[in-house]
Structure 1
Amino acid sequence: MKNQILGTLYGLAIGDAMGMPSELWSRRKVKAYFGKIETFLDGPKSNDVAKHFSKGQYTDDTTQALIILNALMETDFEPKDQVIAEKLIEWAEEIHAFDNEILGPSSKAALLAVKNGKDASEITANAVTNGAAMRIAPIGCLFNSNQSDALINYVWRVSKVTHASDVAITGAAMIAGAVSSAMEKKTWEEIVTDTMNIHDKALAYGAETFSPSLKARLELGLEYAHKFSNDEEAFSNHIYQVIGAGVSTSESVPTALSIAYYAKTVERCAILAANLGGDTDTIGAMATAICGAKQGADEMDPSYLQTIHDNNKVDFNHYAQALLHYRKN
């Protein structure tokens, strides 16, 4: 099981780092500048959100996931709003995230409110961006796939410090649930079925919004995956143009799940997401974490793992051991 947990963590970091250079560029611009991203690259100087990152470095998606784990380890994996908020604010101040283009809009507004001693509930209730989903994948490692109710509740408790809308919680629960099922090496059809079931349950959490259905969009993405099974370019175009690759949960989560289903391996998934256009690092982080959970670290390209090791100060074994210890068996 530790191999699957490490696969999730490395998958998260690989998808994030591979997608970093093209983050928030249009699909046309990605093609014009890179041709095709096929390996880890430096962030272009002309990309305001990626220009400070070098080849193989992951962004705030992976960093926030690890910060959440640090907060949970401090409280024996009993989620505490104050501790999670403090850890996120401490990191944000350390890297000047409040002043630079690093934090997502919902997380930035909520954390600033908490920092200034204000009530953030109105902000979090209307947070429909993907900040909760982008950092949630490791939480899926704590649960078996038959513990969906407990998983959803835990996702809610971990996420609501910045995101407390129904769509944000549902999207995060779907990503965590997909990881949970993938870790058990279920078939991709079974993973999708489990994820759809989680969607139906998770909508009961959070403040009601008028966001599009994540389930309906995922169903459409799966249709494209089958229709264009032998045409990667057509698949990506349809995902980008119809489902979307923006920062909203209603776009990026069904897109990430569709790409994971289509790509199936960490290596293909990371490249596919990086070339998609839009919120490439976040979509890559979510999608590739799911593939990593199923594939396991031992089956990944060793050069990918080495790149993450060489360019980031992180010990994933430390986090994997904690997740394994607190896993709800």
Structure 2
Amino acid sequence: MKNTIESGLFGLAVGDALGVPVEFKSRAYLKENPVTEMFGFGTHHQPIGTWSDDSSLAFCLAESLCAGYDLNDIARNFVKWYSAEMWTPHGRVFDIGIATTHAIHNIAKGHQPDLCGGFSESDNGNGSLMRILPLVFYLQKENDIEVIYQKVKEVSSITHAHFRSVFACFIYVISLVST
């Protein structure tokens, strides 16, 4: 299992690092300029191999889950990433989505973590999906689908509480937990 977890987290970071230089590029652009190797200094002007907030927050989640499931601890790790640059590739945060920024500010104000993410249509996004992988490993032996859904909902809702964000995370987690 340790090799599977390490492989999953490394794979996430490698895929993220491949995407960072071309973030926000159109499908047409990527069709003409497919990413076939690592390169740097693209969209965010970062060196080759730089991962984004997606991997950083996945690492924060993984670290917290090593000590057990504690939503407050997960949320505190997200704040540490944002304010103390924990798990950043070069010691600083260079990109963060609007919904995640808003949620982290709410966490820092002491709000309940699973109520910090936005619930409205405009808050819907893929931020929680991009960092949910460590929860798959934590829930690997859980057989109760309601328990799985509740934990996925709570973790997603730290930054993205809209139903589509939560449900996308649930589909992802449940498909991998079942394999």
TM beyond 0.5: yes
Provide the aligned C-alpha RMSD in A: 2.6
User: Deviation of residue 149 (structure 1)?
Assistant: 3.1
Q: Tell me if 1:106 matches 2:99.
A: yes
Contact 1:137 1:179 in 2 (8 A): no
Letter in 1 for 2:103: A
Determine what percentage of the aligned residue pairs are the same residue: 25
Q: Residue type matched to 1:131 in 2? A: G
How has the CA–CA distance of structure 1 residues 19 and 7 changed in structure 2, closer, same or farther, with 3 Å as cutoff?
same
Between Structure 1 and Structure 2, the one with more helix by share is: 1
1:22 aligned partner: 22
1:66 Cα shift? Answer: 0.7
Residue 69 of structure 1: which of 62, 66, 78 is its match? 62
Residues 84 and 145 (structure 1 numbering): CA distance in 2 closer, same or farther, change over 3 Å? Answer: closer
More relative contact order in 1 or in 2 (CA 8 Å, sep 6+)?
1
Partner of 2:39: 41
1:117 Cα offset (Å): 4.6
**Correspondence for 1:80:** 71
Letter of the 1:37 partner, please give it. V
Match of 1:21, SS state, is: helix
Q: Which runs of 5+ in 1 are unaligned?
A: 185-329
> Within 2, Cα distance between the matches of 1:139 and 1:124?
21
C-alpha distance in 2 between matches for 1:178 and 1:130: 17
Partner of 1:141: 137
Unaligned runs of 5+ in 2: none
Q: Which amino acid aligns with 1:7?
A: S
Checking the alignment, whether the CA contact within 8 Å between 1:156 and 1:164 is kept in structure 2 is yes
Q: Residue 162 of structure 1 corresponds to which residue in structure 2? A: 159
Alpha-carbon shift at residue 36 of structure 1 (Å): 2.6
Question: Where in structure 1 do 4 or more consecutive aligned residues deviate above 6 Å?
Answer: none
- Secondary structure of the 2:4 match is helix
TM-score (norm: length of structure 1): 0.46
Q: 1:158 to 1:122 in 2, by over 3 A?
A: closer
How much has 1:30 moved relative to structure 2?
A: 3.6
**In structure 2, what is the Cα distance between the partners aligned to 1:3 and 1:89?**
28
Equivalent residue number for residue 5 of structure 1? 5
> Hey, what's the Cα distance between the residues in 1 that align with 2:164 and 2:64?
24
Q: 1:123 to 1:152 in 2, by over 3 A?
A: closer
Larger Rg: 1
